[in-house]
Structure 1
Amino acid sequence: MDIRILGAGDEALLVDAVTLTDEGPISHQAATRHLADPDLVNVVAIEDGVVAGFIYGHVLRRFEAVSLFIYSVDVDEAFQRRGLAKAMLARLRDLGATGRWDEMFVFTNASNTPAMALYASAGGHRPNPDDVMFDFD
């Protein structure tokens, strides 16, 4: 398994990775623009020569801290339960430890049992069990 932070020149990997999400597909040009933005962070897990997992997030700069908001965590069904998502989260934690951000966070639903187990096993903690999120159109 190869865990890789994507950068310029990795457009083909990003195009492949987006197919794992509920978004996309994206064009090569969109991938180039996405990878050029330093506040968009992308990590993939490559197994057997294919993109098997993908996490992307946004760097959020606040007055008191810089955070990585993990927007999407996806692993191809054929590669699930092999530790790919946990390894990608660990790679992001390592990148944050270099000073890129102070903390990482992700939203999920309490009813999403696999996600709850993944985030807890990867070292995440739930600081406020009553957090509520509002969407605005």
Structure 2
Amino acid sequence: MADHEARCRSACCAAPEPVLDVVDPPEVVVMPGGGDDMRSPVDTAAGGGTSGLIRPSLWELLTDTADEVAMRTQMTLLMDQLEESAPYRRGQVAASLEALRNALEKASHTADGDEEVSMPVGTVVIIAHCLLRHQP
């Protein structure tokens, strides 16, 4: 058997494919028509924050319209991984579509469009990233 493994080049003896980690991001309620009033809050250094500067919103980071330089956070790292790794992006999109499906299955077909659904903010970022940056 060891002789077979040493000479074999087929899939039966190939190294297993790596398993990509799927991160469960924090949950946020997605509200229709949310605008600039939904900006990230100002943190002061005295209150445990970083500097008293306004942090860019996720929308500004996704659309490259942020005037400020974003700190390295879980969301900025997620966006970087989505941009740099197509296999990672495909896995995250598959998981996000499953979360979207679950949210929509809880909604009635008689909904008028103003009802709210709850999804993790990371799921929303993944979907938005793909819609904004990876369309033909």
Q: TM-score normalised to the size of structure 1?
A: 0.30
Larger radius of gyration: 2
Higher RCO, 1 or 2 (CA under 8 Å, sep at least 6)? 2
Structure with more of its chain in strand, by fraction: 1
